[in-house]
Structure 1
Amino acid sequence: MSKFKSLAVAIPAAALVGWVGYTFWQAYQPQPERMQGQIEAQQYNVSSKVPGRINQVLVRKGEQVERGQLIFTLLSPELDAKLEQAKAGEQAAGAMAAQAEKGARSQEIEAARDQWQKAKAASSLMEKTYKRVDNLYKDGVLAEQKRDEAYTQWQAARYTERAAYQMFGMAQEGARVETKRAANEKVRMAAGAVAEVEAYAADTKVESWHNGEVTQILLHDGELAPQGFPVVSVIDMKDAWAVFHVREDKLTAYNQGAELSVSIPALGDERYSFKVSHVSVMGDFATWRATDAAQGFDMRTFEVEARPSLPIDGLRVGMSVIVE
């Protein structure tokens, strides 16, 4: 009986000693280090390059949008007026170019021809008048001054005839090659102005350039949208990553391409595989930890990005990511 009593006392004592020893052993084991990061994703701001009043926002927060989907429209009467002006300028330039190509009208050519004939008749008359005056001068009837005056009038009439003939020739030939080229270039310039205004007018219907989820709507129907001001924000959760700030003495475990097993508390106890995609080339000197004087330096941190190896359902921006 005394043997059983001794065993009954020895067994609990041995168990107590074993438990105390295991506890001390556990206490001296290195504790796992935890590091917390957070999820970020690529964000896009949808805006217009022209100012205007918001006509209609066609999406809502939380809605999935695709590239090319219409996001919002603008009202801009000023652009409509500028487009009308540009089109009118294009038509005027086209008319001037057509006039340069066709040359003078038939009536203008006939008028130039009549002016030449008129000048030609006047020159012929002045020539006859000069010959009569010259004969009278030779007979001693008129003074030399009168003969010189008649000669000058004849020469002036000849020059007038030549000028009228040149004007007639110009009317027949039409515009010069350089004039036609200048007129055609003005047509191109006017067409470019129309294309520019049309491009601005097309930007009053703004489409998404990316796939993603609408996270913010900053302006609503009827509000004024300045040039380049974001109206709708879109986040692409398929382009998401985790960001950690790693102390430099732990950085060797986070080289580019390293595999990380992480947990995301918001998604339960499941673990996920992430791969380090980027390590900052510059330390963050604003985040540091002071060390003791014996160690001799302060700790800096480096930003590390890691992307999920497989798509993760339910992932949201700002979720905590824990890595041990």
Structure 2
Amino acid sequence: MRKFSAVLPILPLVAIIAWVGYSFWQAYQPQPYTLQGQIEAQQYNISSKVAGRIDQVLVRKGDQVEPGQLIFSITSPELDAKLEQAKAGQQAATAMAEQAENGARAQEIAAAKDQWQKALAAANLAEKTYQRVDNLYKDGVVAEQKRDEAYTQWQAARYTENAASQMYQLAKEGARDETKRAASEQARAAAGVVAEVEAFTSDTLVKSWHSGEVSQLLLQSGELAPTGFPVVSIIDMQDAWLVLHVREDQLSQFQKGQQFSANLPALDNQSYKFEVAHVAVMGDFATWRATDSRTGFDLRTFEVEARPLQQIEQLRVGMSAIVELEQP
């Protein structure tokens, strides 16, 4: 009993010494290093190639959309007018090509032949007239001037007959091959213009190219939409990743292909596995630590992207992720 009484006063001192010793031991133990990142996901902006007034927006925030689903429509009277003009130009070019290919009509060929026959008859008559006048000139009945006039009229009739004959042959043969090709290519060009305008017209019904959830509606019905302006934004949470900014002295733990665990506070602090998919090739000073005696240099950070190894339900963009590492 006396021994216990003698030891009792020093027990508090022993406890204090033990506590101080444990505290010092704890202070010199390696502490875990915590990284905080956030969830990102692929975002797509849905816009139209043509300007116009928004007719209908067929989705709302939070809606799930699939590829090929109609998202919104645009009205553009100017585009409709251009389409009519293009179609009219195509019809005119097609008609010209058909005319070049088919050649002259039967009536036109017959008319050209009649003109040639008429000129031929006139040339024959002029020749006979000249022969008569020439005979009279040789007999001394008419002057040389009359014979020259008859000869000139005969030659002129011959040239007229030859020209009429060429016109008749041209009417029978139709257009040259070069003319036909030129008319055909003009028709093709006009068809291309129509196809181009129709392509723009079809883009007034804008569909989604991707699946995802509607995150933003930037324009509503009745508002004007410029060319290429995003009207609806969607986020594909099936294509999500974690972004971390890692100091270079910790970068060895985040090489491409390495796996690690991260806790998501928004999902009851559950732990999920991630795999490093990308490490930025250029560092920055987003999280900077000045030179000290241990490192001897300034520490840069590198952006690291990591993909989840499994699909995470209820995952949202901007959620925090906590990663604990050993202190270097």
TM superposition score normalised by structure 1: 0.93
Paired position in structure 1 for 2:93? 93
Cα shift readout 1:258-298 (whole Å, capped 9, x = no counterpart): 11111111112211111111011111256533224895532
Paired position in structure 2 for 1:71? 71
Higher deviation after alignment, 18-27 or 110-119 = 18-27
Paired position in structure 1 for 2:269? 269
**2:53 counterpart SS class:** strand
Whole-angstrom distance in 1 between the partners of 2:285 and 2:185: 59
Matches within 5 A, 1:286-301: 288-292=288-292, 296-301=296-301
Whole-angstrom distance in 1 between the partners of 2:158 and 2:22: 132
**Unmatched runs of 5 consecutive residues or more in structure 2:** none
Change (3 A) 1:9 1:296: closer
Change (3 A) 1:287 1:261: closer
Q: Share of identical aligned residues, percent?
A: 71
Whole-angstrom distance in 2 between the partners of 1:26 and 1:283: 34
Cα shift readout 1:39-66 (whole Å, capped 9, x = no counterpart): 1111100000010100000000111111
Whole-angstrom distance in 2 between the partners of 1:297 and 1:147: 119
Cα RMSD, aligned residues only: 2.0
**In the alignment, is the contact (CA less than 8 A) between 2:247 and 2:287 conserved in 1?**
no
Whole-angstrom distance in 1 between the partners of 2:230 and 2:99: 48
Shift of 1:73: 0.4
Whole-angstrom distance in 1 between the partners of 2:135 and 2:156: 20
Matches within 5 A, 1:159-308: 159-284=159-284, 288-292=288-292, 296-308=296-308
Whole-angstrom distance in 2 between the partners of 1:295 and 1:18: 34
**1:136 counterpart SS class:** helix
Matches within 5 A, 1:40-55: 40-55=40-55
Whole-angstrom distance in 1 between the partners of 2:287 and 2:200: 46
**2:87 counterpart SS class:** helix
Change (3 A) 1:296 1:24: closer
Whole-angstrom distance in 2 between the partners of 1:134 and 1:93: 57
**1:227 counterpart SS class:** coil
Whole-angstrom distance in 1 between the partners of 2:14 and 2:155: 147
- Count how many residue pairs are aligned between Structure 1 and Structure 2: 324
Change (3 A) 1:313 1:77: same
Paired position in structure 2 for 1:128? 128
**1:317 counterpart SS class:** coil
Higher deviation after alignment, 215-224 or 282-291 = 282-291
Cα shift readout 1:154-180 (whole Å, capped 9, x = no counterpart): 111111101111111222222222222
**1:54 counterpart SS class:** strand
Shift of 1:133: 1.4
Letter in 2 for 1:223: E
Matches within 5 A, 1:3-14: 3-5=3-5, 14=14
**2:33 counterpart SS class:** coil
Paired position in structure 2 for 1:139? 139
Change (3 A) 1:174 1:17: same
Paired position in structure 2 for 1:110? 110
Whole-angstrom distance in 1 between the partners of 2:213 and 2:246: 30
Shift of 1:237: 0.9
Letter in 2 for 1:282: M
Whole-angstrom distance in 1 between the partners of 2:84 and 2:204: 16
Whole-angstrom distance in 2 between the partners of 1:3 and 1:284: 67
Whole-angstrom distance in 1 between the partners of 2:302 and 2:76: 48
TM superposition score normalised by structure 2: 0.92
Whole-angstrom distance in 2 between the partners of 1:28 and 1:208: 58
